[in-house]
Amino acid sequence: MQHVAAALDRLSELAAAPTVSRLAAAFEAAGHELALVGGPVRDAFLGRPVNDLDFTTDATPDEILAIVKPIAEAHWDIGRQFGTIGAKIAGETVEITTYRADTYDGDSRKPEVVFGDTLEGDLTRRDFTVNALALRLPKLELVDPSGGIEDLVAQVLRTPAAAEQSFGDDPLRMLRAARFAAQLGFEVDPETVAAMSALAPEIDRISAERVRDELSKLLTTSAPVRGIRMLVDTGLADRVLPEVPALRLERDEHHRHKDVYEHSLRVLEQAIEYEVSRGVLESPDLVVRLAALLHDIGKPATRRYEAGGAVTFYHHDVVGAKLAKKRLRALRFDNDTVDAVARVIELHLRFFGYTEGAWTDSAVRRYVRDAGDQLERLHILSRADVTTRNKRKADMLAFAYDDLEERIAVLAAEEELAAVRPELDGAEIMAALGIAPGPVVGQAYKFMLDVRLDEGPIGPDAARERLLEWWAAREA
């Protein structure tokens, strides 16, 4: 970690920036306290970029609005019920929150917001000591009531209050512990881990939307596996993502199949490496990471022991896609994300047929067509799914996929694969057959698409002849 003095220098520079200094002056003139709080202060000590500016104050939401309106280019009060006002000042977005003391009543899925009256009280109700740091403005006084700086130095996560009390007030903090462990690379204090295990059932009080958001934040860190292991080891994953701990299939005495759980975590790590190195997708890509983590969740339900001792998981791709849809919908993911993840999982085994024999151009076209706009994600998962320690086998699979991608590129250049359609559209089909709109048009369209995929471009005249032949055979 950078020296404390260097961190204080960075905080001083931050306080002198137009947005912060303008806010500090406005609140001081109005007779109210203001402090930069949480992540920005923590990240200054860690030498990390400061991206979000969060402030806390003794002013009420109405008073905050009155103070920021004259100096803001824009402001909004969408978080007013939680004491938070947002604003854009000197080109930067900020959030300013009244001192708080959130608690749960034991049954509600949302916190009951109680406004506090001191900065120290606000800090001690926060999730972890490393986030319970503040810089009073404009006097630049560092406030650390719970030893957060010492924990930053030790790279340890613990709660300001007793972990049982903190997690009882807001069970989502247990998921946040896993996320920050992954994001910061910190260890979680043993007493805090023990409380997570003991209170894991309390996460059921939290709304699916809040759980979804926290899991998404965890998965989009640079090294999410650390956090996922913590969720599984503490029993939290059994409550929020039970398909993942279910991957820990009991190994038979002959070790006839690999550890699916460890394999899935390795696939996730490799998918992130490919996501970054290929540079085609905007990283982090949540769909890639969800698909990598969940790609084998159909295996527990499809495991079979065959004669001779072989273990099979027939159709685990299709079963896994259905299970992923069900779980992601329960977590209130949007339909586009759900459909994309399920599609990539459903197709993730398709490539392995390529290594068993040369694919025709038709098979390559169908691979591209079936993947649609998920092709790049399918490329990443297919490559990441190779975790064998057999270097010869791994090289063979890598060379095979290189070859497949090269063939896709060649065919795409020749035939515009991304927009493959029959050479006759619906209107031309109806005109050629002399029929009106109806189900038969759809059947004819599918036939013409199969011709296009199987044979490539053959020209509209030849396509019309093939259509008439199909029609005549159908009518016979």
Residue 348: predicted pLDDT: 94
> Who wins on pLDDT, 90 or 253?
90
- Taking only Cα atoms into account, the Rg of the chain, rounded to an integer number of angstroms, comes to 28
Percent with pLDDT over 70 in the chain: 92
Residue 246: predicted pLDDT: 94
pLDDT band, residue 309 (cuts 50/70/90):
confident
Q: CA-CA-CA-CA torsion for 347, 349, 354, 355, nearest 10 degrees?
A: 160
Q: CATH number of the domain that 267 lies in?
A: 1.10.3210
Work out the average pLDDT over 367-392: 92
Among the three residues 124, 153, 182, which one is the final residue of a domain in this structure? 153
Work out the average pLDDT over 249-266: 70
Other CB atoms within 10 Å distance of the CB of residue 284: 16
* Sequence-separated contacts (24+) of 53-56 with Cβ below 8 Å: 53/19, 53/20, 53/92, 53/93, 53/94, 53/95, 54/94, 54/95, 54/97, 55/23, 55/94, 55/95, 55/96, 55/97, 56/96, 56/97, 56/98, 56/99, 56/100, 56/119, 56/122, 56/134
Work out the average pLDDT over 418-434: 82
Work out the average pLDDT over 146-154: 94
8 A C-beta contact, residue 273 and residue 266: no
What's the structural domain count of the chain? 4
Residues 148, 159, single domain; the answer is no
Residues 321, 350, single domain; the answer is yes
8 A C-beta contact, residue 86 and residue 75: yes
pLDDT at 39 over 80: yes
Work out the average pLDDT over 324-350: 97
Tokens 């927009």, located at residue: 419
Residues 255, 122, single domain; the answer is no
What is the 3-state composition of the chain as percent helix, strand, coil, each rounded to the nearest 5? Answer: 60, 10, 30
pLDDT band, residue 382 (cuts 50/70/90):
very high
pLDDT band, residue 106 (cuts 50/70/90):
low
25, with CB counted inside 10 A (0-12, 13-18, 19+), is middle
What is the chain's mean pLDDT, rounded? Answer: 89
Q: Provide the whole-model pTM.
A: 0.82
Residues 90, 148, single domain; the answer is yes
Can you read off the two tokens belonging to residue 167?
Answer: 């997690």
Among the three residues 394, 419, 444, which one is the final residue of a domain in this structure? 419
Contacts of 259 (CB under 8 A, 6+ apart): 248, 249, 251
Length of the chain: 476
8 A C-beta contact, residue 40 and residue 50: yes
Residues 24, 43, single domain; the answer is yes
Over residues 429-461, the pLDDT tens digits come to 888 998 888 788 888 888 888 888 788 888 889
Residue 252: predicted pLDDT: 43
Work out the average pLDDT over 276-298: 95
Residue 87: predicted pLDDT: 94
Three-state SS sequence of 400-423: HHHHHHHHHHHHHHHHCHHHCCCC
In single-letter form, the type of residue at position 140 comes to L
Residue 268: predicted pLDDT: 98
Residue 256: predicted pLDDT: 46
d(CA 371, CA 377) in angstroms, rounded, equals 9
Residues 270, 352, single domain; the answer is yes
Residues 381, 289, single domain; the answer is yes
Residues 101, 116, single domain; the answer is yes
Measured CA distances, 133 to 35, 37, 101, 148, 380 (Å): 10, 6, 16, 7, 40
Residue 253: predicted pLDDT: 41
246, with CB counted inside 10 A (0-12, 13-18, 19+), is middle
Work out the average pLDDT over 125-138: 95
Three-state SS sequence of 112-127: ECCECCCHHHHHHCCC
pLDDT at 383 over 70: yes
Map residue 323 onto helix, strand or coil: helix
Percent with pLDDT over 90 in the chain: 60
In single-letter form, the type of residue at position 122 comes to D
pLDDT at 105 over 60: no
Work out the average pLDDT over 116-133: 93
Residues 75, 51, single domain; the answer is yes
Q: CATH number of the domain that 1 lies in?
A: 3.30.460.10
Residues 311, 385, single domain; the answer is yes
Domain range enclosing 40: 1-153
8 A C-beta contact, residue 429 and residue 445: yes
